[in-house]
Amino acid sequence: AKWVYSFGAGAAEGSATMKNLLGGKGANLAEMSNLGLPVPPGFTITTEACTWYYDNGSTYPQELKEQVALALEAVGRETGRGFGDPDKPLLVSVRSGARVSMPGMMDTVLNLGLNDETVKALARASGDERFAYDSYRRFIQMYADVVMGLEHHVFEDVLEDYKDGNGHSLDTDITAEEWKSIITRYKAIVEEELERPFPQAPHEQLWGAIGAVFGSWNSARAITYRRLHEIPGDWGTAVNVQAMVFGNMGENSATGVAFTRNPSTGERALYGEFLVNAQGEDVVAGIRTPQDLTEAARLAAGSEAPSLEKLMPQAFGEFLGICERLEGHYRDMQDLEFTIERGKLWMLQTRSGKRTAKAALKIAVDMAAEGLITAEEAVMRVDPAALDQLLHPTIDPAAHRDVVGQGLPASPGAASGALVFSSEEAEEAKAAGRKVILARIETSPEDIHGMHAAEGILTTRGGMTSHAAVVARGMGKPCVSGAGMLRIDYRSGTMTVMGRTLQKGDIVTIDGSTGQILLGEVAMLQPELSGDFAALMEWADKVRRMKVRTNAETPNDARAARGFGAEGIGLCRTEHMFFEGERIVAVREMILSETEQGRRAALAKLLPMQRGDFVSLFEIMQGLPVTIRLLDPPLHEFLPHTDEEIAEVAEAMGVDPKRLRDRALMLQEFNPMLGHRGCRLLVSYPEIAEMQARAIFEAAVEAGRTTGAPVTPEIMVPLVGMKAELDLVRARIDAMAGEVAKESGTKIDYQVGTMIELPRAALRAAEIAESAEFFSFGTNDLTQTTFGISRDDAASFLGAYQQKGLIEQDPFVSLDREGVGELVQIAAERGRSSRPAIKLGICGEHGGDPASITFCEEVGLDYVSCSPFRVPIARLAAAQAAL
């Protein structure tokens, strides 16, 4: 079998397509060789050799030794040197390289092949004894550390002691003779600590390093990293052995790293750093301050140190040409490593560069405009989830951060404002024109108005799917949740953190993208939704099949969603409207009434308000589809709790508060999420459905007149498990449509459909579809009811499930394809079997999750619906799913 692939001198046995076999680094070294670029010759030992090594009790395949020896000879021929040759020694680097770059793997060993003899030859050949012995001591240090496992600091200690004792402050003050005595000391330490000498034989050094690379594949760090990133353990790593080139051979030598475009802004300009007379990782290690590559960058930074462009114009010119060539060849921004040895340029690595969301967007759009990639490819190049970062204000990276606390990054974006500790205070402050951050121990549905009024929300309890987190994401507001290090005292109106006490009114900033809590107002960068963003979205819209709607109840949300490109409302949760202002009293009145008459009286108060809500939504949506869900409150969310609240409702109803309290107690449920909610409420009290249907139809007539665009409302019945439930509610809706049509003299087009959010509904979808013109998958509840896990209580155990590897992802965040997904599929198929043209959509958190959107495309849903700020994410994800 072939275990070794050579590269160098304008040719290679491998290529960029062979990443699985040669690892990313090896495949690209081969590719650059094939392109005729100046790559120091070398060879790659395959990942298959690594797998073989592990399958066979940490031994090597028989042919490997010979193949390595032959490849080494070839490198020697090309460089005019020999491995271990005392006169013209070949020195190499040993570099690990898996398919994907992976921290936790063995660090690169440079200058391998040096020993007490070859170092003399290096000194002669370079005419620089100091350089040779400095290289040797670096090699001993590196090799003993990464291959022999001797801690770095023992060498550092020797070096520091030496410098102190000899009056040196810098490494560069040390002479060749001094390095020699330090090297003697280094070797002695290795023997003392490890009870074996530092290996002098180059072959022993080489095989030691190869074994260390293979061994590092199963280091604890690497295993942890693989588990976190779902990288299979049987991929293995490749080993690259490559002839050394020296960036530390004097003032006309250098080493550097570069990106072909700016990785943080995406700007099309070479970006990078270099150091004169330095080797390997000196640039990133921060030993000296690196210099800018280009004059433009140097001037922009106002730096004194000359640029590479100025210092070594010829090598720089060649490098610039190579950058352009590689970018064109790979059709992507490249991250490069290079070294200049006595004026001669050598390429040591290329790969697609990591970049910020902002840069990813700009680079994709620019490259499409340059004709380097197609618009479809540009659409595929941007991670939809990363768009989130671009849709919200962010803290200026240059701003000073006075961090006073840390919570979970529950909803992205940053906001500043005065601290308040109640929703009432938040509303008052907002009305007075002040910006506030609402800080609560946790939030409940009663805080919706306060959350609306606030710029951002901070809680000390609750996770990523807590009420605060979910609602804030829905509103597109920054939220930091579960900041357990904070103590909020409602009574004194203070918040304590790390010994500091903040008062109500103190200005704070929260960063929902990192979870940080900062003191004072911090400079922000505003999102840029035109330009590149708009261009990419346009391309995405051209290729996607599924429509993207939004979940919205308020005019603000609806308008924001239109601005983000929503094509209708997929879910209007009418119960959210019931918390607004004074309405809650009328709602409580209705729920607590003991008679139909009493309920109708309360509903009559709500009718005009509901109608007004719907008119404005229809007007904003201008004839786009609007799905309105009939009331679905878990009753307990509406019940009055405090004496004050009870007194308020009692007065409105003209009943005895004590009697009302009893009624409220009677309505308490053990399991509200599985209780008297959804269509069950409508079955008990059909007059609620009637009022809502009337409000919808009257609003449709009115909005149809004002906008001139006919409105076709889609009325959605929640929590249906049986066709009979839907039929009962539907009959009331149909009757009301007839009534309003007669009263208004306008014929109203409308559809009635249902949420599919119970397993029984999914299974009985064929017959339910006989009465439903559309299905909307309510996957939040469907996940709860399929798993039998309460979303509100899941936090206490789902974490352990994830840690122990029972589940990969929180099923409330990303749709569980296997279980919940199968029910969705069944419902889609069965629904279509009895009504082929049935409209299918999804609402709820999953509608904005890229992985779940891919699933929706596979099942062939007609649309996804998500919170306004996730609309662009959904547009892009739907496009990628369709490509």
**What does 261 interact with, of ligand ADP, Mg ion, none (CB < 5 to 8 A by kind)?**
none
Q: Does 242 bind ligand ADP (CB under 6 A)?
A: yes
Of residues 327 and 455, the one with the C-beta less far from Mg ion: 327
Angle at 425 (CA atoms; ends 419, 428), nearest 5 degrees: 115
**What does 40 interact with, of ligand ADP, Mg ion, none (CB < 5 to 8 A by kind)?**
ligand ADP
**Alpha-carbon span 630 to 33, nearest angstrom:** 66
Packed helices 686-707 and 723-744: angle between N→C axes, nearest 10 degrees:
50
Least separation in angstroms between CB 776 and ligand ADP: 49
Q: Does 337 bind ligand ADP (CB under 6 A)?
A: yes
Q: Residue 229 catalytic?
A: no
Q: Dmax over Cα atoms in the chain, in whole Å?
A: 107
Nearest alpha-carbon partner for 625 in 709, 540, 689? 709
Least separation in angstroms between CB 275 and Mg ion: 15
**Alpha-carbon span 867 to 873, nearest angstrom:** 10
Q: Has 778 been labeled as part of a binding site? A: yes
Least separation in angstroms between CB 335 and ligand ADP: 10
CB contact at 8 A, 832 and 860: no
Q: Does 349 bind ligand ADP (CB under 6 A)?
A: yes
**Alpha-carbon span 205 to 199, nearest angstrom:** 6
**Alpha-carbon span 692 to 101, nearest angstrom:** 57
The DSSP output letter for 741 is H
**What does 478 interact with, of Mg ion, ligand ADP, none (CB < 5 to 8 A by kind)?**
none
Binding segment for ligand ADP (CB under 6 A), chosen from 202-210, 237-245, 357-365, 582-590, is: 237-245
DSSP of 132-162, one letter per residue?
HHHHHHHHHHHHHHHTT---HHHHHHHHHHH
Q: Has 266 been labeled as part of a binding site? A: no
**What does 408 interact with, of Mg ion, ligand ADP, none (CB < 5 to 8 A by kind)?**
none
Listed in sequence order, the DSSP H helices in 56-128 are 64-79, 118-126
> Hey, what amino acid is at 331?
R
**What does 93 interact with, of Mg ion, ligand ADP, none (CB < 5 to 8 A by kind)?**
ligand ADP
Q: Which residues in 383-503 belong to E strands, given as ranges?
A: 394-395, 403-406, 408-411, 414-420, 436-440, 456-459, 479-481, 486-489, 494-497, 500-503
- Tell me the CA distances in angstroms from 40 to 293, 422, 655, one per residue in order: 22, 66, 91
**What does 244 interact with, of Mg ion, ligand ADP, none (CB < 5 to 8 A by kind)?**
ligand ADP
**Alpha-carbon span 419 to 519, nearest angstrom:** 11
Length of the chain measured in residues: 883
Binding segment for ligand ADP (CB under 6 A), chosen from 236-244, 288-296, 430-438, 835-843, is: 236-244
Residue of 12, 244, 275, 566 that binds ligand ADP (CB under 6 A): 244
Listed in sequence order, the DSSP H helices in 35-101 are 47-55, 64-79
The separation between the first and the last C-alpha atoms of the chain, rounded to the nearest angstrom, is 39
Q: Does 245 bind ligand ADP (CB under 6 A)?
A: yes
Binding segment for ligand ADP (CB under 6 A), chosen from 243-251, 551-559, 603-611, 768-776, is: 243-251
Backbone angles phi, psi at 127, to 5 degrees: 65, 25
Residue of 348, 368, 569, 874 that binds ligand ADP (CB under 6 A): 348
CB contact at 8 A, 414 and 394: yes
Q: Does 40 bind ligand ADP (CB under 6 A)?
A: yes
Least separation in angstroms between CB 256 and ligand ADP: 9
Q: Has 265 been labeled as part of a binding site? A: no
Q: Which of 323, 479, 843, 856 is catalytic?
A: 843
Per-residue contact string for residues 66-95; x = within reach of ligand ADP by CB under 6 A:
---------------------------x-x
Helix (H) or strand (E) holding 384, with range, is: helix 384-387
Helix (H) or strand (E) holding 285, with range, is: helix 282-285
- Strands 92-97, 238-243: pairing kind: antiparallel
Least separation in angstroms between CB 107 and Mg ion: 5
**What does 95 interact with, of Mg ion, ligand ADP, none (CB < 5 to 8 A by kind)?**
ligand ADP
Least separation in angstroms between CB 109 and ligand ADP: 9
**C-alpha 538: how far from its chain's center?**
23
CB contact at 8 A, 428 and 552: no
Q: Has 573 been labeled as part of a binding site? A: yes
Q: Does 418 bind ligand ADP (CB under 6 A)?
A: no
**Alpha-carbon span 517 to 437, nearest angstrom:** 11
How many residues belong to the site for ligand ADP (CB under 6 A)?
A: 15
Q: Which of 392, 452, 467, 846 is catalytic?
A: 467
Sign of CA dihedral 860, 862, 866, 871: positive
Of residues 101 and 616, the one with the C-beta less far from Mg ion: 101
**Alpha-carbon span 443 to 439, nearest angstrom:** 9
Least separation in angstroms between CB 869 and ligand ADP: 37
Q: Has 599 been labeled as part of a binding site? A: no
Sign of CA dihedral 719, 723, 728, 731: positive
Residue of 82, 199, 272, 280 that binds ligand ADP (CB under 6 A): 280
Of residues 110 and 375, the one with the C-beta less far from ligand ADP: 110
Of residues 211 and 657, the one with the C-beta less far from ligand ADP: 211
Least separation in angstroms between CB 107 and ligand ADP: 6
Binding segment for ligand ADP (CB under 6 A), chosen from 203-211, 238-246, 485-493, 812-820, is: 238-246
Q: Has 277 been labeled as part of a binding site? A: no
Q: Does 108 bind ligand ADP (CB under 6 A)?
A: yes
Of residues 24 and 811, the one with the C-beta less far from Mg ion: 24
**What does 771 interact with, of Mg ion, ligand ADP, none (CB < 5 to 8 A by kind)?**
none
Q: Has 629 been labeled as part of a binding site? A: yes
Least separation in angstroms between CB 103 and Mg ion: 8
Q: What is the CA radius of gyration of the chain?
A: 34
CB contact at 8 A, 848 and 348: no
Of residues 95 and 875, the one with the C-beta less far from ligand ADP: 95
Least separation in angstroms between CB 24 and Mg ion: 10
Of residues 271 and 774, the one with the C-beta less far from Mg ion: 271
**What does 350 interact with, of Mg ion, ligand ADP, none (CB < 5 to 8 A by kind)?**
none
**What does 348 interact with, of ligand ADP, Mg ion, none (CB < 5 to 8 A by kind)?**
ligand ADP
Helix (H) or strand (E) holding 707, with range, is: helix 686-707
Of residues 39 and 585, the one with the C-beta less far from ligand ADP: 39
Residue of 28, 126, 262, 339 that binds ligand ADP (CB under 6 A): 339
* Partners of 243 in beta bridges: 92
Q: Which residues in 287-343 belong to E strands, given as ranges?
A: 291-292, 334-341
CB contact at 8 A, 347 and 39: yes
**What does 339 interact with, of Mg ion, ligand ADP, none (CB < 5 to 8 A by kind)?**
ligand ADP
Backbone angles phi, psi at 54, to 5 degrees: -75, -30
CB contact at 8 A, 476 and 392: yes
Of residues 294 and 349, the one with the C-beta less far from Mg ion: 349
Least separation in angstroms between CB 346 and ligand ADP: 7
Tokens linked to 725 = 């439930």
Q: Residue 843 catalytic?
A: yes
Of residues 101 and 252, the one with the C-beta less far from Mg ion: 101
Of residues 99 and 461, the one with the C-beta less far from ligand ADP: 99
Listed in sequence order, the DSSP H helices in 548-685 are 555-563, 574-577, 583-592, 596-621, 643-653, 657-667, 679-684
* Partners of 352 in beta bridges: 334
Q: Which residues are catalytic?
A: 467, 843
User: Binding-site residues, please?
Assistant: 573, 629, 757, 778-781
> Binding site for Mg(2+): what residues are annotated?
757, 781
Binding residues for substrate: 573, 629, 757, 778-781
**Interacting residues toward ligand ADP by CB under 6 A:** 40, 93, 95, 108, 110, 242-245, 280-281, 337, 339, 348-349
